[in-house]
Amino acid sequence: MKRLMLLLTLLLACMTPALAEEDPGLALDRILAELEHSAAGIETLASDFVQEKHLEMFRETLVSRGRFYFARPDKLRWEMTEPVASGFLLNGDSGSRWHERAGAAVPFDIAREPGMQLIAQQLLAWARVDIVWLVRQYRMTLVSEQPVTLKLVPLQAGAEQFVEYLQIGFDAERRYVETVEVHEPGGDSTRISFAGTELNQPLDPALF
């Protein structure tokens, strides 16, 4: 009996580290599947945000504030309110953008605006937590599980000129993005923090 107990103890001692140290690739896959599952039930999002642009050469951070709206599958509104009102909205393949300093809103067709297409694709992918699309765009590593934080390095050739890596943080229940950090070559970075996020609340159709 003593021998059996000793054997069991030894077996448990050997097994415990194996259970605790999950393969990083498997852990990432598990987390991505959880994120996709949790976000699947989200039809609308509305959130305030603070954008902090850090300019390394000036050691200065420029703070802007705004509000973000999303309605599945492809409606977005990105609205800066301070210090200058500006933004864009997207409804399918078309949209409009505005800037307080430039006057009235200007419509655009996303197929003809590669810059807008890039921004819209990114925002839609993060709002929908579209893991299939994101895995094609980035090499991902898991920075932390609580809260879930991912580091993403762009795979697309030429992207490294603009983005060194992104760091994305999710809310505690893993349903939506709470922070986005864009780290640029040269040390500049942008951090967007979302707060007061409302899930699945009816949104005024006029927003889009």
Partner 1 sequence: MNIRKGWFVLLALLLSGCASIPFEKPRRTATRELAAEALLAPYWLGDPVVYRIRHSGLFRLRGMKLPIEGFMELDANHRKARLVALEGMGLKLFDLTVTAETVEVNHLISDLRRHPGLPKAVADSVRRIFFQPQPSPADRLEIGSREYRLQRGGADETRFVFGGEPPLLLEKRGVGPSEDWWVGYYQYREQIGRQIPEGIFLQDRRAGYTLTLWLESVSCIEQ
- The single residue listed with the structure tokens 């993060």 is 126
The interface with partner 1 within residues 154-193 (CB under 8 A) comprises 162, 182, 184, 188, 190
Instruction: Quote the least distance from Cβ 102 to partner 1, whole Å.
Output: 4
Q: Which is nearer to partner 1, 98 or 133 (CB)?
A: 98
| Residue 62 near partner 1 by CB under 8 A | yes
Q: Which is nearer to partner 1, 123 or 203 (CB)?
A: 123
Q: How far apart are CA 92 and CA 75, in angstroms?
A: 6
- Based on the number of CB atoms within 10 Å of its own CB, is 13 exposed (0-12), middle (13-18) or buried (19 or more)? exposed
Binding mask 90-119 for partner 1 (x = CB under 8 A): ---------xxxx------------x---x
Among 5-13, 23-31, 32-40, 77-85, the segment contacting partner 1 (CB under 8 A): 77-85
| Residue 36 near partner 1 by CB under 8 A | no
φ, ψ for residue 43, nearest 5 deg: -100, -35
